[in-house]
Structure 1
Amino acid sequence: MGDYQQQIKQGLAALKARDPANAARYLSEASKTAPPSDMPWIALGNAQLSLGRNGEAETAIDAQLELAPRDVGALLLKGWLREQADDTRAAVSFYRAALNQAAISGTPPALQQLHEHAAIYAEQANDGFESHLLASLGTDLSPVMTEALELLTGRRQLFLQEPSVFYYPGLPQKRFYDPADFPWLEPMLALLPEMQEELHSVMAEGANGFAPYVHRPQNRPAPNNPLLDNEAWTAFHFWRDGDVVAENAMRCPATMKALSHAPMPQIAGRSPNAHWSRLLPGAHITPHTGMLNTRLICHIPIKTAPHCWLRVGSETRGWEEGKPLLFDDSINHEAKNEGDQERVVLLFEIWRPEIDAADREAIGRIFQAIGEFQ
């Protein structure tokens, strides 16, 4: 037993002295009798690499990966060896595994340069892979197939429903819905000029009735939100937690008439909820998810603004005159006004169309029970 320990000691000393030939000789001899767990396989691999013996180096690195499959150094060296063998797919696979693990446990300082090379190589290989796929498939693809290809190549991130409170299983993972599928929007849009005039009147009176959307609730912790009590994002409520806000409703009869066409949930103490949502220049509603996936959020643009956008999952849209947006807010989303004009939308919630009447009623009872619990 002492022989292999002495050989390992001599081999490591030779490697430190920049003598790869003796390092490889001593460590190779040690590997014949040493238990695999006692062997410095990466040291042997580095010695063999210095001598240009890539095959022997890979054998040593493979032995280390048998013992420690997530060893960052071994994964990086294995990737480099596969790269030298022109095995691009394997090289990328090992490089990506190394990069993912390094994000958790770090990279050995001596391999930092190889870590940086791995990141560049993997990105370039991904570009080549994407070009190969596009050359094979062509660019005349449907929007769905284009997205699928971008997910495959890492150009787009996958976002799924992640409601913070209540999850209803089996619903389609759909970011935006087509307004044409909701015929009740037509009579609402017919009232758009009157709603715009009502907004103009309210703003002419000093925007009285608008208040920060993110506020401090009574007897509850303050939300951890950078827009807490911030006038950059304000709301003018028509319905709030199931009750009409009488003063605002009286000032805006056309808007209330428009909302009467929408199939808003009716849950005592919870909904309907409907308000003008006003976003000032520079305001950023940071990424978040809604409380439940049983509703859609609807936006009817009342006052559009350039350079103002809404991202839902991996898809970003702007607000256009006369074009509602309907989206699933249980998917990660954010909004930002990067222009120099304010944006105002009429925001309200509706039931997801896939949920039948019986389950809607049951969901309503769940939230009524939650509200009644003391």
Structure 2
Amino acid sequence: MTDQARESALQEAAIAALRRGEAAVARAALQDMVAPPPMLLAQACNRTSDWDGEAAALQHILREHPRDLPALLAMGQNALRRGDEREATRWCRAAVAQAAATGAPPQLQPMLLQAQAVMANASARFEDHLSAAISDLPALPRITQATDLLLGKSQLFLQQPSMFYFPGLPQRAFYERAEFDWIAPIEAMTGDIVAELDAVRAGAPDFAPYVETPSNGPAPNNPLRDDPSWGAYYFWQGGAPVADHAARCPAVMAALALAPMPVITGRSPMALWSLLKPGTHIQPHHGLLNTRLICHLPILTPDGCALRVGAETRAWRQGEMLIFDDSVEHEAWNRGIETRIVLLFEIWRPEIHPEEREALTRLFQAIDLFGPAQIDTGG
């Protein structure tokens, strides 16, 4: 019998023994081979509870093929049987990532589900472990956010403006009302603004669509394009007041005069009533710039409406300003049964110095003069 024929006969004998449930016989046959197939050897070791032998056979496979999914999954189970949960989690995480990248055949699905369960259990114990370490401390929002990121419970959202990025600004989704001394006087005018809104909507409850198809350019890629479900009633548009709207709403204009809105020819100020009808969802998107903050003074605030900026979601409350960075991914929805309306306007980022604001104003005006000005479309 040739050496090759002998090796083939021993391998077939080992396979047959495994099928009969005679793992020790299979392993003896494999040990007589010069080069036993590593996965077959791993299976024989597994069924004889030789965890070290199984690990050695699997490592042989992974040295040649580091992303071999069956071997990765088997290594996770092997480490678990040896009582090393941390190592098991490492192998399971690698296996799940590989399956996500390349897919997994049906016969590996049970092992893949086991690997996911190992990861979930380890994550829960790790969270309990971390929570215990800081359980005697007061609530600290930044510590909570950092811990959620570490645990994979939250996603990291950063400024990604679609047109212009200004470096060195803090990565904050929301700013708080108490940080701005001009907000309280505006909030105090909410009642007068509500009255003006009621008078305007008595004759025309709907507004023009927030996103409209331009007459001389490509159509914005937005599912709410030309849809009044997301409506706009402008007071300042393209840096100029909308005269008839401003005349009808002196309280709105007086409130806006208190805010540090940018003044940029052809671009800013920008201020409007933003309307969102029931069942409307503004899809996740990024604004044009990170040099500004968007302010919402809530006017009509039914239940079921909210704004997500980054990883944080807040509801509107009438007369309580929301201030956020719209260069961070954000979305809004109205899942209620009544229309939501806010007074929306932009302000300079407070961290930008006066001389930088002057330079930015010149830059933005030069950009717009060079070619068609980019406009916010919610896309």
Report the aligned-residue RMSD: 2.4
Q: 1:213 to 1:26 in 2, by over 3 A?
A: farther
Among candidates 254, 266, 270, match of residue 251 of structure 2 = 254
Q: Which moves more between the two structures, 261-270 or 221-230?
A: 221-230
The residue number in structure 2 matching 1:151 is 149
**Alpha-carbon distance in 1 for matches of 2:369, 2:170:** 31
Q: Give unmatched runs, 5+ long, in structure 2.
A: 372-379
Q: Which moves more between the two structures, 223-232 or 342-351?
A: 223-232
Query: Deviations for 1:105-146, whole angstroms, at most 9, x for unmatched residues?
Result: 111332111101111221122112111222232164322222
Among candidates 186, 189, 199, match of residue 187 of structure 2 = 189
The residue number in structure 1 matching 2:377 is none
Matched residue type, 1:296: L
Among candidates 301, 304, 317, match of residue 301 of structure 2 = 304
Give the superposition deviation at 1:27: 5.5
Q: 1:12 to 1:143 in 2, by over 3 A?
A: farther
Among candidates 324, 335, 344, match of residue 338 of structure 1 = 335
The residue number in structure 2 matching 1:96 is 93
Report the secondary structure of 1:339's partner residue.
coil
Q: 1:291 to 1:11 in 2, by over 3 A?
A: farther
Aligned residues: 366
**Alpha-carbon distance in 2 for matches of 1:85, 1:136:** 28
Matching of residues 103-182 of structure 1 within 5 Å: 103-138=100-135, 140-182=138-180
Matched residue type, 1:226: P
Contact in 2 for aligned 1:281/1:338 (Cα 8 Å) = yes
**Alpha-carbon distance in 2 for matches of 1:221, 1:26:** 72
**Alpha-carbon distance in 1 for matches of 2:158, 2:275:** 27
Q: 1:62 to 1:339 in 2, by over 3 A?
A: same
Whether 2:48 is the aligned partner of 1:57: answer no
Q: Which moves more between the two structures, 309-318 or 104-113?
A: 104-113
Matching of residues 1-374 of structure 1 within 5 Å: 3=3, 7=7, 11=11, 14-15=14-15, 18-19=18-19, 24=27, 41-138=38-135, 140-207=138-205, 210-374=207-371
Report the secondary structure of 1:326's partner residue.
strand
**Alpha-carbon distance in 2 for matches of 1:345, 1:144:** 29
Query: Deviations for 1:129-177, whole angstroms, at most 9, x for unmatched residues?
Result: 1112222321643222222222222222222222222222221111111
TM-score (norm 1): 0.89
Contact in 2 for aligned 1:237/1:248 (Cα 8 Å) = yes
Give the superposition deviation at 1:353: 0.8
Give the superposition deviation at 1:24: 4.6
Give the superposition deviation at 1:201: 0.5
Give the superposition deviation at 1:218: 3.0
Contact in 2 for aligned 1:285/1:334 (Cα 8 Å) = yes
Give the superposition deviation at 1:219: 3.3
Matched residue type, 1:192: T
Matched residue type, 2:365: Q
**Alpha-carbon distance in 2 for matches of 1:282, 1:116:** 37
Contact in 1 for aligned 2:188/2:319 (Cα 8 Å) = no
Q: 1:8 to 1:258 in 2, by over 3 A?
A: farther
Contact in 1 for aligned 2:13/2:29 (Cα 8 Å) = no
The residue number in structure 2 matching 1:36 is none
Contact in 2 for aligned 1:83/1:91 (Cα 8 Å) = yes
Contact in 1 for aligned 2:17/2:26 (Cα 8 Å) = no
Contact in 2 for aligned 1:301/1:320 (Cα 8 Å) = yes
Report the secondary structure of 1:365's partner residue.
helix
Q: 1:244 to 1:48 in 2, by over 3 A?
A: same
User: Kindly, what percent of the aligned residue pairs are identical?
Assistant: 47
